[in-house]
Amino acid sequence: MIVNRDEESRGPATSFALVAEAYSHGRPGYPDEATRWLVGESPRDVLDLGAGTGKLTRSLVSLGHRVTAVEPLTEMLEL
């Protein structure tokens, strides 16, 4: 489900909206070893707040975790 808020309510977060595509291409992914260190080996329920373009979300899911990702910027979700 995507919930879109009006532009004024987003405040400073809109700065990422201006560079979403460059961020998506320039931001490296997360090594599986780092993700395992962060959340452990056993599958967990994880909340990814400010999920951006979903790089960490995809890494967590690939390791078997159940992830709920929240991202307020439509520009990030579209990438």
Mean pLDDT of 19-30: 77
Record the pTM.
0.70
Please write the tens of the pLDDT for every residue from 4-14. Answer: 555 555 566 56
For residue 42, name the pLDDT band (cuts at 50, 70, 90).
Answer: very high
DSSP 54: S
Please write the tens of the pLDDT for every residue from 43-75. Answer: 999 999 999 889 999 999 999 999 999 998 888
Q: Does 20 have pLDDT greater than 80? A: no
Fold (CATH) for 12-77: Rossmann fold (3.40.50)
Closest CA to 69 of 19, 3, 9: 3
Q: How far apart are CA 27 and CA 23, in angstroms?
A: 6
